Amino acid sequence: MVAFLRWAGSIVAGTLNGLIKFTLAILLILIVISLFAMARGDKMPGSMVLSIDLRKDVADSRPGKYSFGARAPTVLDIVLGLDAAERDPRVKGVFLRLGTGALSVAEAEEIGAALKRFRASGKFVIAHAQGFDGAGLGDYVTATAADQIWMQPKSSFAAAGVGGGEFFVRGLLDKIKAEPQIAKRSEYKSAADMFMESSMTKEDREQLQELMKSTYDAAVNTAAADRKISRAAMVAALDASPQFTEDAKAKKLIDQIGFDDDALGAALNKAGGDAQAITLSQFLGAKVASAYGSGPHIALVQASGEIVEGSTGGGPFDNSSVIAGDDMAHAIREATADKDVKAIILRVDSPGGSVAASDQILDAVKKAQAAGKPVVVSMGGVAASGGYYISLSANKIVAHPATITGSIGVLTGKVSIGNTLGLVGVKGELVGVGKNALMNSDLAPYTPEQWAALNAEADGIYADFTKKVAEGRKLPLAKVQEVARGRVWTGADAKERGLVDKLGGFWDAADVAKRLAGVPAGDRVRFKLYPRQKGFLETVSDWLNGDDDEVQAIENFKTLMTSPVISHTAHAVRQAPRAGIELRAANLPE
């Protein structure tokens, strides 16, 4: 046993030493690589076409974390990258690949606007689709921003409209004796209807129908204008889907028929000379920075994902895509404290989440405004519920026509499964001290008193939410109560109701921020990114300083090794007799 413990201890010590040496070696290698890279320049070709692949889901934005290797560009990466490419004389054009149905209409509006801005500088965009596979319109609307749309021969053009559906599991819950108890404020707050209802409510059907109609109108109007055909002709052409490539070309939905290499060849020929295709990720990688552009500083705070309490930790292997309350509030506070920052753009793409974290972020926004920093919200594809909550105090809110926003409401409750367990021979029992200590247990339903308390809590949060909207948007409370009720709106409909100030994308929000900051309209600005982009060395330093789960695991191991059982065992091993002569005193106090 003694020999085994000695052997195990040597293995643990050797492993930890090896990890430390490996980390130091990686650091040294990266330092050398960085020095060589700085000496050699960005190594981009003298003439290039940027290749952007949009055939997988595209995140709106991400926190400023170090990424190992090339990372998939976000919507904001594309927007800012195209701005940099517009000013880089080596970039002649863009080759776009899409068609899998990965893009929403709101994302199409943002990326399409960036492509048109790029084209306005005298450069070109060629889009290629092997097919437009989904019935949704996001990919096609994005493609219409290009100079030319290519499609592979005899492929499917399925883009047709906007639609969707919902599942309802109340019948299943009844069969397995599970009891859903969820309080919602108010009748349009439908996220939990799948548990509480057996079919779509009248209110939910109404809001979804209006949401889809508004999104469809925005998409069709944009596509018709870009393709230079009438709205009626565009509607008729889309109504003919699914159809083949050749049919789409006859209806002027696309321009050319060919494979991807044919379209890329056309792009390279148009660029001229010895132009090369370079991915946007490669281009961005050669321009890694914590700021973009030049001139007065405007902070760009990126908030994308579900809103949660606490911090993500930010370790080198942390790929979380959430808005952590501590991290986001800290980012806004950093931007507020930066004397060079003249205004803040808060980019929001979130379906909401924690009330406490949302309130924490809203407080940071209000304090930034109180410190004299104008805050402009630029909404991405979704800025609803908590996503709207963190936006409501902004000096101005800019949203796309197809942004999903609003959902000013509250959900709270649970599904109790105590009776369900009995169906499979499992029994759960509870023990608690305090009248409501077990109120949130999944094993038992709420008592009548607890259900009343839960509803009172929902009423209080809803009243606070609507009051803050009224104050932030400078609207009568009665009007807010009318447009709230948990209802989702498109950006276009939200603007009509005073929930949004302006329709547009990131660059429209930037223009508003410039005006509020007193920057002349024609002047460029420098966007400083928050949360701040961390390099590899800083990320590893944070990691080794105990900022994430990996270090927590090491701390847990340390706690285990210093526990009484392990300590006494180790002490016994140290005191055990060993072969040979030793100059060691035994049994000394420690």
Q: Which residues make Cβ contacts (< 8 Å) with residue 318, sequence separation at least 6?
A: 65, 312, 548, 549
- Residue of 532, 550, 543, 533 lying closest to 26 (CA atoms): 543
Q: Find out whether 161 and 209 touch, Cβ atoms under 8 Å.
A: no
Return the structure tokens found at 406.
């609003």
Give the span between the Cα atoms of 200 and 206, in whole angstroms. 10
Burial (0-12, 13-18, 19+ Cβ within 10 Å), 486: buried
Give me the phi and psi of 49, to 5 degrees please: -115, 125
Cα 571 from chain centroid (whole Å): 51
End-to-end, the C-alpha distance of the chain in Å comes to 23
Q: Which residues make Cβ contacts (< 8 Å) with residue 60, sequence separation at least 6?
A: 74, 75, 76, 107, 304, 347, 349, 380, 381
Give the span between the Cα atoms of 79 and 142, in whole angstroms. 13
The answer to whether 189 is a known catalytic residue is yes
Torsion of CA 356, 357, 363, 364, to 10 degrees: 160
Question: Which one of 123, 189, 396, 528 is the catalytic residue?
Answer: 189
> Is beta strand 179-185 parallel, antiparallel or unpaired with respect to 410-416?
antiparallel
Beta bridge partners of 157: 132, 243
Question: Which one of 156, 241, 385, 391 is the catalytic residue?
Answer: 385
The answer to whether 358 is a known catalytic residue is no
Output DSSP code: residue 297.
Answer: E
Q: Find out whether 163 and 156 touch, Cβ atoms under 8 Å.
A: no
Unique residue bearing structure tokens 């247990």: 441
Return the structure tokens found at 309.
């309490």
- Residue of 136, 110, 304, 102 lying closest to 215 (CA atoms): 136
Residues taking part in catalysis: 189, 385
